[in-house]
Each structure stands twice: as structure tokens, then as C-alpha cells.
Amino acid sequence: MKKNKRVGYLIHELVTHPGVSYSSETFCTALDIARSSLSEDLAAAREIIEEIGTGTIETLRGTGGGIRYLPSLNEEGFRRLQQELIRRTEDPQRILGGGYLYTSDFMYDSELIRPMALYFAGCFRHADADYVVTVETKGIALASQVAFMLGLPLVIVRREAKYSEGSTVSINYFSGSYDRIQKMSLAKRAVQPGGRAVIIDDFMRGGGSSKGLAEILAEFDVEVIGTGVAIASKEPAKKKITSYIPILWLDAIDEERRIITARPADYLNPSSLL
């Protein structure tokens, strides 16, 4: 295989299997090349991905070493994503009343899910997580793409225990958004004790459901090591959890004048999070 096809092959394999670790042998055998040529080809592949701004290729030497594609989103891509999200969020037709916005269209839009997932994958790529966890339903498409980008299993917490989940553990928690007690339920076989979880959700108001997720995971001895939310409401300023990474801030919804105000959150540089 010629060099240009080898580089293309490596990019295809790595980008379609993010977070998965390959040995040098795997690629040397597949491409029928020596290690020195593989190093050159990987350097070219890494250059391309870093120029595009969607992550890097990590090469660890020695035992336990391996070659992995680690996705992330550079600041330029992040700003472009925020602009598009703000443009769409501020459309007054989204106003449902009672402080609610219709957001299903862009939360289920592949072209927006991909850069959002790249960003969160970059934020949590060195967090050494075992699971990406969300609660049904609106954050699932995003969370499943983050799980794919981190090469981790997705765990979905249900609102109600379902027979097809087998034995479950349930908790009650207070949801500020709905101003009432809500339920969450997780299958006993879904996680292992001692695991580490990243929580991904589409929206955070008071942080009640994120806190609920942390509580139900604690029942399984699973620790939450990070939380990413696509949109966080500015109010209430005091949330039930202290640490979370938003992409947008929703500042205000003026229902009378039909004006929605959103603004970009700070960019977290993945290399500063090591």
C-alpha cells in the first residue's frame, strides 16, 4: 500500500474507533510495514487531525503502551459551535411558557451533537472514567456520542424501573424544574462497584437531576468525576452541584417580549486539564 493510502487507512481506523488502544503490531501487520514507517505515517495522521482541530493521536511506548485517537474540539471549533447553538437557542419560537424551551430539534441534530461530543470528550479524556451516564431521554443522543468518543459504555438511568432491566435500585429526588419529587432507577447489572462516571445531560437548571444521578450512582459505589451539560441556566445561581462544564449559558427568557438570551461559556482547553 502506498503512503497516501496508509495514512488514509490509519485516519479511518483511528477516527472511527476513538479512545480504543491499538498496538503497533496491529498496524504494522495490517499495512505490512516496519515500525519506522508506521511512526512516520502516524506523524502525518496526527498532523492532519491536529490541523483540523478535532483531537490528537497519542502514542505510548512500552508495555501497556498503544496508539489511540483522543478526540477534542479546538477553541475555533468551539466558538463556531457556540455561535450556532446561540443562534438556534435564541429563536423565540422555542418559548413554551413557564420558563421552558423546546430544544429537541438541536439536541437530536447530528451536525451539532458531533462537535458537542468532541468538546466533552476533550474535557474528560484524561479523567480515567469507566462509564458515561445520563438520565432518559433528551440527553441520550449526546451522551451516547460522548461515550463513543471516549470508547466507554453508555449507562442510561430510567425514570421508572422496567422489567427488561432486571433488578433495579431506585431513588427519589427533588426536581426544582418540575417542583416535585421525581424517581430514578438503575439496573443492578449496569455498573460495577468502584467505577468512575462522567455525567452528560442536555440541560441543567437547578442541578437536581445531576445530584440525583450522583446519589443513585453512590448506591452502587460509583463516583462521579465530571459533569457536562449542553446548556446551563444562569438561574438559580446556586445549583445543587458545584462542578459542571456547560457549553452555553441560558441567561433569560422574557416571555412577554419573546426574547431569549444565551451566551457562550468559557472554553476549557483539554491540554490544561491534564
Residues near a copy of itself (CB under 8 A) are: 3-13, 15-17, 20, 41, 44-45, 47-49, 52, 54, 96, 98, 100-105, 108-111, 113-114, 136-138, 140-141, 144-145, 147-148, 151-156, 158, 163-166, 187, 189-190
Name 250's bridge partners. 233, 262
CB of 62 vs a copy of itself, minimal distance in Å? 25
CB of 215 vs a copy of itself, minimal distance in Å? 20
User: Judged by CB, which is closer to a copy of itself: 121, or 247?
Assistant: 121
User: Judged by CB, which is closer to a copy of itself: 189, or 243?
Assistant: 189
Provide the 10 A C-beta neighbour count for residue 167: 8
Q: Beta strand 154-157 with 131-135: parallel, antiparallel or unpaired?
A: parallel
User: Judged by CB, which is closer to a copy of itself: 105, or 235?
Assistant: 105
75 Cβ contact partners less than 8 Å away, ≥ 6 residues apart: 267, 269
DSSP at 244: -
User: Judged by CB, which is closer to a copy of itself: 133, or 247?
Assistant: 133
CB of 45 vs a copy of itself, minimal distance in Å? 6
Give all strands (DSSP E) within 72-189, no chain letters. Answer: 95-97, 100-101, 131-135, 154-157, 168-175, 180-187
Give all strands (DSSP E) within 163-222, no chain letters. Answer: 168-175, 180-187, 196-204
CB of 33 vs a copy of itself, minimal distance in Å? 13
Cα-only R_g, the chain: 21
User: Judged by CB, which is closer to a copy of itself: 48, or 225?
Assistant: 48
Let me know: does 253 contact 234? Beta carbons within 8 Å: no
CB of 260 vs a copy of itself, minimal distance in Å? 15
